[in-house]
Chain A
Amino acid sequence: MEKQTDIYKINDEKIYKRLLEDKDIILDDALENEMVINMGPQHPATHGVLRLVLRLDGETVLGIVPELGYLHRGYEKMAEDMSYIEFIPHTDRLDYTATMCNNVAYVLAVEKLTGIIAPKRAQYIRMIISELSRIAAHMVAIGTFAMDVGAVTMVMWTFREREKIQEIFDLVAGARFTTSYTRIGGVASDMDNVALKMTKDFLEELKPALDEMDKLLLKNRIFIERLEGIGVLSKEDAIALGITGPNLRASGVEYDVRRAKPYLYYDEMDFNIPTYPEGDSLARYFLRGDEVRESVKILSQLLDKIPQGEIIANDPKRVLPHKTEIYSKMEELIHDFMIINFGINPPVGDSFFSVENPKGELGFYIVSNGSGHPWKMKIRSPSFCNLQAIGQLCKGAMISDVIAIIGSLDPVMGEADK
């Protein structure tokens, strides 16, 4: 034992000697000085390519500067160069955990500008897929958040549930991940009885699974203590910073676009808007769980009420005809040709439309000059604005809390960085 200590001593002495010879190395104790470190842009806990520059005193965060721009794909620029229909697949790539919600938001924005109204069945299908997508997104959020603070089992459990939703999407849209399912004036294909049955079965299995997840985490003292009272965001600050979605409601503001400005048929649905007064990371975790339960409630009502009928509007000048008809009828072929080549031409003007996405309020501001592609399109993405709160939330926290706070805000860089 003594021998070993000697070896370490000799080694240390050698290292110190080497260090003293090297003029570039400063020998001050790092923990007794302020230091600046980088977290990201390639860091597993920053949920994508987010770079944070931290100023630390020991382990306490004195200041934090978030940097975006490592992903920037220029979607707003691209939108100006393509027709309204061509942009639908690109909306998938914004919040890639909730592709369907983005699809629905975008087509509703274009429909508001052009004045197209989709048939009732299509609207119901849009609501079903939006809510399923919301559950899937919250599952990813809850799972990765728990993983960030050390509860790795949770991510496997939540992804198991999400997988079932992806299978439903596979059946309905023909793709699991990049769905591009909606069309201007309706949806691409009908949701058949098999898909509806799958949704019903999924909902029944989800309820006990959610209870199990709660049991797993909420008896875990480490999980609770790492989140309780961490990253507190007051009601006033949340509003001033433009925070929306679950992060806003976890600060006690009862604002949900589905209730405030009902779109589709949300005004006919019976559901609650969960809120928490605490505004800390734990509240944000609880809130997402509660929202999943509300989505289950909405979905059960939708499955009971879904009407029969068409899934795409009959508006040949502006809505794409059915593929089968294009191959057999001249008129439809002409309309298809005109829409694809020249686009639907909305009236001159601008409109802003927003929906409640899993991350918050997703809005599209479209300026039309009457041609087939938008003159300008601005995407009001919730993650971008929510990330702005990091600076305030992390000040004075420990470095390990930064991870918990990022996870609790649930940013998706595809959306923040557009």
Chain B
Amino acid sequence: MDIKNLIVDKVRNQFGDSLIEVVEFAGDLSLTIDSKKNRELSEFLKSDPELQFLMCKDVTGIDWGTRKNRFTVVYHVYSFQLNFTLRIKCNLEGEETKIDTVADIWLSANWYERETYDMYGIIFKGHPDLRRMYMPEGFEYHPLRKDFPVLGIPNSLPLPNKID
């Protein structure tokens, strides 16, 4: 059986209607899943003996700007057994910017989720150490959001006061 069909069948059997969309583009397989099911799906993908997606290669977000469901969280996970990289997408509904963490399922997601939080302001519920990754603590903006200008906001990073 083709690897892609195997994954889609297994996920569909397990999650049914929560699997919103299956897209194949440029040879990549993306599964869009209900954002409330992301932990369950992660646990399933990791522990299923036929799939064994043991490594989380990347977590990031997409800001669609004006779209109704503005943010999408994207995971890239890899299975050594199948030699396959799978993309999982979770659309965050409405103004919601919260999703459950998967940092305890895949350790590597810890920093990636922090990075996504820093850049997009998406809050990962239950994350053990949700701090800013690159920007200073207390910086009020999230730079990769589309409404943040490329040249930055003047005075958003205050300079230290002059010593008298």
Contact = CB atoms under 8 A, between A and B. Distances in A.
A115 B119 CA distance: 30
Interface residues of B, number: 37
A376 B26 contact: no
Nearest to B28: A351
A380 interface: yes
A226 B77 CA distance: 36
A53 B71 CA distance: 34
Given A365-B74, A365-B76, A349 B26 contact: yes
7 contacts: A68-B133, A350-B25, A350-B28, A350-B30, A352-B76, A376-B60, A380-B76
A351 B74 CA distance: 12
A401 interface: no
B22 to A, nearest CB: 14
A68 B119 CA distance: 14
A388 B132 CA distance: 15
Classify the interface of chain B: helix, strand, loop or mixed. Answer: mixed
Interface stretch (B10-18, B36-44, B93-101, B107-115): B107-115
Interface of A: 68-69, 72, 74, 76-78, 80-81, 112-113, 115, 237, 239-242, 253, 255, 260-261, 349-352, 354, 361, 363, 365, 367, 375-376, 378, 380, 384-385, 388, 417-418
A367 B108 contact: no
B108 A241 contact: yes
Interface of B: 23, 25-28, 30, 54-58, 60, 62-63, 74, 76, 80, 83, 85, 87, 106-108, 110-112, 115, 119, 132-136, 143-144, 148, 150
Contacts of A77: 143-144, 148, 150
Among all A-B residue pairs, the 4 with the closest Cβ atoms: A242-B108, A69-B134, A351-B26, A349-B25
Contacts of A350: 25, 28, 30, 87
A163 B132 CA distance: 39
B144 A112 contact: no
B107 A378 contact: no
Contacts of B150: 77-78, 80-81
Nearest to A259: B83
A365 B58 contact: yes
A349 B62 CA distance: 13
A69 B27 contact: no
Contact of A367 (B62, B106, B111, B132): B62
A73 B102 CA distance: 28
A69 B133 contact: yes
A77 B87 CA distance: 22
Given A77-B150, A81-B150, A365-B76, A242 B134 contact: no
> Taking each of B55, B85, B111, which has the highest tally of chain A beta carbons within 10 Å of its own beta carbon?
B55
Contact of B134 (A72, A78, A255): A72
B62 A376 contact: yes
B135 A352 contact: no
A418 B115 CA distance: 11
Nearest to B119: A76
Contacts of A81: 150
A69 B136 contact: yes
A72 B54 CA distance: 29
Contacts of A80: 150
A325 to B, nearest CB: 30
Contacts of A74: 143
Given A380-B57, A388-B110, 20 more contacts: A77-B143, A239-B55, A239-B80, A240-B55, A241-B107, A242-B55, A242-B107, A242-B108, A255-B80, A349-B25, A350-B25, A351-B26, A352-B58, A363-B58, A378-B60, A384-B111, A385-B108, A385-B111, A385-B112, A418-B134
Contact of A388 (B27, B57, B108): B108
Contact of A352 (B55, B85, B136): B85
B106 A242 contact: yes
